[in-house]
Amino acid sequence: MSRPRARPGRRTRRGDEPGGPGVILLTGVTGTVGGLVARRLATDEPVRLLARDPRRLTALTGPRTEAVGGDFTDRASLATALTGVRAAFLVTNDPLTHAHDENFVAAARAAGVRHVVKLSARAVDEPDATDLVTRWQRGNEDLIRSSGLGWTFLRPRAFMSNTLGWARSVREEGVVRVFGASSPNASVDPRDIADAAALCLTDGEPTARALALTGPAAISPVEQVAVLSRLLARPVRLEELTWGQARSRLLTRHPAPVADALMESAVRQRAGAKGEVDPTLATLLGRPARDYASWAADHRSAFVAGRGT
């Protein structure tokens, strides 16, 4: 895997990047990482934000940031959005189709985009990961790799922010319910992923690289719950779910094939497949990756009784 040099504090401004001026297009900006990337680039770069309903992006727009309407199913809207774009951040989230990535890549090639930074997944280069979601991401990477576009694949482990899914039960019951409570995951702060994405979109480094992004240490749900208990100064209890209970919960939010893929991934984690720490993120950013305790401290209010929804 190619490892970039650390470039702490380096920012390219319009007109001094290799190849001349151009716009950076961001997708996924209503999601966790995409919104963070938009905020990081809001003052330094000419940025275009793509969303089905650009009215939702008012808080992210500004003098150098515009919002445009578009959809991954509509190539004409993608062609318009990609006009004048030199680099794009691509986030897709439907593992039941490759059409979204296919449409975006075709439009990017036609528009002369030079670099696509794709949010992928750490499991892509792990041969024992064979679930639907990982196979989908592998296919998306293969599509971009063979497109002739410059590319960077960001391959994060689980987001630390996934534990916000516990917030309501912590607030209301003082309990966290999980499958694989003692299994470690080298989870990563989404803010660090966004920092990496912003750097890759602006720093002018060579393309054709895949970057494994992990936190500084593997941490299990048991250990995360202990962090929350200390932070909240009250006990938080952990209840272990069975495989069937965990799958039933996923089925309330995902189609069955996706729920089954997520359970297959969870079984891999329980077997110890997701604990490896990679130094790439710290090398790229020129600083240590944030740990879970720091993330939790900055999001403490979400877990406090009487706060949030």
At 69-104, the pLDDT tens digits run: 999 999 999 999 999 999 999 999 999 999 999 999
Superfamily, domain 23-160+189-215+276-290: NAD(P)-binding Rossmann-like Domain (3.40.50.720)
Residue 183 Rama label (left phi>0; alpha psi -120 to 50; beta):
beta
Q: How far is CA 53 from CA 49, 72, 77, 265, in A?
A: 11, 13, 12, 32
In percent, how much of the chain has pLDDT > 70? 92
The residue whose two tokens read 């912590």 is: 170
Instruction: With beta carbons less than 8 A apart as the criterion, state whether 172 and 258 touch.
Output: no
**Helix 243-251 / helix 256-270 crossing angle, nearest 10 deg:** 140
Segment 232-256 mean pLDDT: 98
Q: What is the pLDDT of residues 177-231, one digit of tens each?
A: 999 999 999 999 999 999 999 999 998 766 899 999 999 999 999 999 999 999 9
Residue 32 exposed, middle or buried by CB count within 10 Å (0-12, 13-18, 19+): middle
| Cβ partners under 8 Å of residue 20, min gap 6 | none
As a whole number of angstroms, the distance between CA 258 and CA 133 comes to: 7
The predicted structure's pLDDT at residue 305: 82
The pLDDT of residue 203 is 82
**Would you give the DSSP letter of residue 166?**
G
* 286: alpha, beta or left? (left if phi > 0; alpha if psi -120 to 50): left
Give the pLDDT confidence score for residue 178 in this predicted structure. Answer: 98
pTM: 0.91
Cα separation, 134 vs 155, in Å, equals: 11
Rounded to an integer, the average pLDDT of 112-121 is 97
Classify each residue of 50-69 as buried b or exposed e, where b means 16 or more C-beta atoms within 10 Å of its C-beta.
Answer: bbeebeebeebbeebbebbe
pLDDT of residue 206: 60
| Domain extents in the chain | 23-160+189-215+276-290
What is residue 23's three-state secondary structure?
A: strand
Q: To which H or E segment does residue 162 belong?
A: none
How far apart are the C-alpha atoms of 273 and 184, rounded to whole Å?
A: 8
Number of H helices, E strands in the chain: 11, 9
Cβ burial, residue 24 (10 Å; 0-12/13-18/19+): buried
Q: Per-residue pLDDT tens for 145-177? A: 999 999 999 999 999 999 999 999 999 999 999
Residue with tokens 């930074």: 117
Given a cut of 70, whether residue 20 has pLDDT beyond it is no
**How would you write 70-130 as a 3-class SS string?**
CCCCCHHHHHHHCCCEEEEEECCCCCCCCHHHHHHHHHHHHHCCCEEEEECCHHHHCCCCC
Q: Where does the pLDDT of residue 12 fall: very low under 50, low under 70, confident under 90, or very high at 90 and above? A: very low
Residue 90 β-bridge partners: 118
Rounded to an integer, what is the distance from CA 211 to the centroid of its chain? 12
CA distances in angstroms from 237 to 160, 174, 183, 222, 229, listed in the order given: 19, 6, 17, 9, 9
